[in-house]
Structure 1
Amino acid sequence: MTDTERFFCSDAARSRGDALAGTAPHGTVWILIEYREGWPVNGFQGLDLDPRTKTLVSNAAQRARARILLIRRPGRRHCDGANRWAVLRRETDGALLQHWGTWQRDEHLAHVVPALTTRGTTDLPPVILVCAHGLHDTCCAVRGIPVGRTLSGLWPDMVWECSHVGGDRFAANIVVVPDGVYYGGLDAQTAITVIEDHMADRIRADHLRGYTTLFPPQQAAISAVLRRFGPAGRDDYTIAESVRHGRGWHIRVKSRSPRTPALEVEVMPHLTPPRQLTCRGPADSSAVRYEVTSMRRLGRDGAEPGS
C-alpha cells in the first residue's frame, strides 16, 4: 500500500471473504440513549455528563449485563425537543420487551435504572440500529450512514444510527433489537432486502452474523442450517445441546419443521492469520473463524434415523 492509499477495513474484509457467521456479541439487554451531538470514540463513557448519573447508569448496566448504545436519527440533526432513552430486553421465553422514556437534563437518565427491572411493553415494533460511529471506525460512517438514511426513508420510526456495535470490518452493520439479530456486509439495497425479510420473520444466512442469545459456535451452526435448508423464522431453530469435542463442538439443533426435526452440527474454530481488522487498529491481530465440518439429521428423539 502506498502512502496515498487509504486503508478501509471493510474493503479488506470483503476482499478476503471474512466469514460473518459467529461474530455477533452475546447479550439480551440493551440501553439506548439518544445523543444528537458528536459521539466520543468510546461512546457513552466518553460523554460529558453528570458524573454521578453516569456512574449510576454504568453500574446498573453492568449488573444487568446490558450494552449501552448511543443513538440518533439518520440525516439532519434537530436539537429541539427531549431526547429519548430505552431499555430493550429479550427474555428467555422469547418475549420482546421495550421501555421508553425521555431526558432533557442529565439527571433524567437515572430513570434508566428502574427500567432495567421493569417488564416493559411487548407490542412495539423492533428497533433497527445501523452502526454509524465514524470516530470509532471510518467504515462505520462510510458504509453505515448511507444505509441508515435509506432505511429511514422506508421505516422512519424504527431506524436509528447507533454507536459501536462490534465487527467494524463487517460494515455496514445492522442490529435488530430486542430480537437480538446482527447483520453485516450490507449496502443500501441489500439492507432493504434483509429488513424486509426480517420483518416477515424470514431470516437468511447471507448477511447473518448471528443471534445475540447464542454463543459464536452456536451462531455458526444456526447460520449453516439456514444456508442448507433456506430462510426460517427467528425462533424456528433452537439449540438443544452444545458439547465440547476436542477443539470443536457438537451442537444439536432442534427445528419446528417436520422435515428437519433435529440436526447435529460439528463446528471447528480456526484462528485467521494476523491482519489489520479495523481502520484504526494499531497492529495486526487474529480473529476466530468457525467452520462447520459436518451436519447430519437426527430423529425426533435425538437419535440418527433408523437407529
Structure 2
Amino acid sequence: MTSGARFFCADAARARGDAFTGTAPYGCVWVLIEYRRSWPANGFDGLDLDPEIKELVFSAARASRARVLLVRRPGRRRPDGSDRWAVLRHDGFGALRQQWGSWRLDQDLAQILTALQSPGERGRPPVILVCAHGVHDACCAVRGRPVGRVLSERWPDLVWECTHVGGDRFAANVIVVPDGVYYGGLDAASSITVVEEHLADRIRADHLRGFTTLYPPQQAALAAVLGRFGPAGRNDYAIVGTVRGEDGWHIRVSGGAPHGRVLDVEVRARRTPPRRLTCRGPEDGSALIYEVVSVRDG
C-alpha cells in the first residue's frame, strides 16, 4: 500500500492470507430488528428509541445470550409500514426455531421479551444475513453490499443486510441463522456457490468461519474434517470429545451416515504479530489463530 492510500482491512487481510477458521462468535439465539433508516455505528444501542424499551430488550437478550442485530432488505426500501422483528434460535438439539412479529411504535418491541421465552416455530426457511454495516467498518459496505444485492436477486425472501457480526477483515461476511453458520471472504460469485450448497445441506470448508454452536478449537477441527473429506450436512458430524492439553486441544469428531467415521483432531493456537485488524481501529492488535496439526482415525 502506498503512503497516504486509504486502508481497507479486508484487502490487508487477504494480502496477508489471514486465516478465518475458528472465528465464529459463540451463540445460539439471535434477535433481528428491521430498521430501514441509517444505522448508527453501534447498531441497536445507538437508536433513538424509548430508553426503557431499549433496556428491556437488551436485558432480555443478555439473559438469553442472544445477539441483537439491525436488518434491512438489500438495495431497496419498502414503502412506509410496519418493520419486522424476529427471534431465531438453534435449540441445542438440532431444532431450528423462529418467531416473527412487526413493530411501528417503540413499545411494540416489548413483544421480543415474550418471544425470547417462547419455543418458536419449526420448519421455516433459514435467514441469510450479509453484514453491510459501513459506518462500523468500510469493508462491510464495500464488500458486503454487492454480495447482499446478488444474493437477494437469487433469494429475495431469505436475504437481509445486517449490522456488525464480527470479523470485519473477513468481509464479505454471510451468516445463516438459526443454523448458526458463519462464512467469510466472500464475493458475488463465491457467495452464490456457498449459499446454494448450504441450502442443499452441503457445507463447504472453503469460506467457512465456523459453527456458532461450537467453540473456536472445535470449529477449526470440524473445518479440517470438511476440508479433507468434502462437504457435509450441518449435523452430519458431531464433536463428541474435547480435551485441553499443554500444547492445545485433542478433539474427537464423529460422523454419522454417510460419513461414518471417528476422527481425532489435534488443534493448536498461536497469536499473530500485532497488525491493523479493522478499518476504523487506529491501533494494531494481535489475533488468535487456530491451526490443525493432524487429523487421524480415532
TM-score, length-scaled by structure 2: 0.98
Distance 1:2 1:169 in 2: 19
**Which residue type is aligned with residue 98 of structure 2?**
Q
Which residue number in structure 2 is paired with residue 51 of structure 1?
51
Which residue number in structure 2 is paired with residue 8 of structure 1?
8
Distance 2:184 2:22 in 1: 11
Distance 1:99 1:7 in 2: 40
Q: How many residues align?
A: 298
**Which residue type is aligned with residue 49 of structure 1?**
L
- Is the CA contact (8 Å cut-off) linking 1:53 and 1:110 kept in structure 2? yes
- Does the residue aligned with 1:32 lie in a helix, a strand or coil? strand
Distance 1:241 1:233 in 2: 20
Distance 2:4 2:250 in 1: 48
- Is the CA contact (8 Å cut-off) linking 2:236 and 2:259 kept in structure 1? no
Is it true that 1:291 corresponds to 2:291 in the alignment?
yes
CA shift for structure 1 position 260:
4.6
- Is the CA contact (8 Å cut-off) linking 1:266 and 1:295 kept in structure 2? yes
Is it true that 1:32 corresponds to 2:32 in the alignment?
yes
Which residue number in structure 1 is paired with residue 210 of structure 2?
210
CA shift for structure 1 position 267:
0.1
CA-to-aligned-CA distance 1:211-265 (integer Å, 9 cap, x gap)? 0000000000000000010000000111001000103000000101466521010
Report 1:142-181 matches (<5 A): 142-181=142-181
- Does the residue aligned with 1:146 lie in a helix, a strand or coil? helix
- Does the residue aligned with 1:57 lie in a helix, a strand or coil? helix
**Which residue type is aligned with residue 172 of structure 2?**
A
- Is the CA contact (8 Å cut-off) linking 1:265 and 1:292 kept in structure 2? yes
Which residue number in structure 1 is paired with residue 253 of structure 2?
253
Distance 2:236 2:276 in 1: 36
The structure-2 alpha-carbon separation of the partners of 1:2 and 1:259, relative to structure 1 and needing over 3 Å to count, comes to: closer
Alpha-carbon RMSD: 1.0
- Is the CA contact (8 Å cut-off) linking 1:180 and 1:212 kept in structure 2? yes
CA-to-aligned-CA distance 1:174-218 (integer Å, 9 cap, x gap)? 000000000000000100000000000000100000000000000
CA shift for structure 1 position 92:
1.2
Flag as ranges the 4+ runs of structure 1 deviating above 3 A: 1-4, 257-260
**Which residue type is aligned with residue 16 of structure 1?**
R
CA shift for structure 1 position 156:
0.3
Ranges in structure 2 where 5+ consecutive residues have no aligned partner: none
The structure-2 alpha-carbon separation of the partners of 1:193 and 1:259, relative to structure 1 and needing over 3 Å to count, comes to: closer
Distance 1:199 1:2 in 2: 42
**Which residue type is aligned with residue 222 of structure 2?**
I
CA-to-aligned-CA distance 1:107-143 (integer Å, 9 cap, x gap)? 0000000100111111110000000000000000000
CA shift for structure 1 position 79:
4.3
CA-to-aligned-CA distance 1:22-80 (integer Å, 9 cap, x gap)? 00000000000000011111100010000110000000000000000000000122341
Distance 2:140 2:260 in 1: 38
- Is the CA contact (8 Å cut-off) linking 1:260 and 1:297 kept in structure 2? no
Distance 2:256 2:206 in 1: 21
- Does the residue aligned with 2:40 lie in a helix, a strand or coil? coil
CA shift for structure 1 position 282:
1.6
Distance 1:36 1:259 in 2: 44
Distance 1:259 1:227 in 2: 13
Which residue number in structure 2 is paired with residue 72 of structure 1?
72
CA shift for structure 1 position 81:
1.3
- Is the CA contact (8 Å cut-off) linking 1:36 and 1:79 kept in structure 2? no
Which residue number in structure 2 is paired with residue 244 of structure 1?
244
- Is the CA contact (8 Å cut-off) linking 2:238 and 2:253 kept in structure 1? yes
Which residue number in structure 2 is paired with residue 133 of structure 1?
133
**Which residue type is aligned with residue 297 of structure 1?**
D
**Which residue type is aligned with residue 4 of structure 2?**
T
- Is the CA contact (8 Å cut-off) linking 2:265 and 2:296 kept in structure 1? yes
Distance 1:61 1:257 in 2: 36
Distance 1:134 1:187 in 2: 16
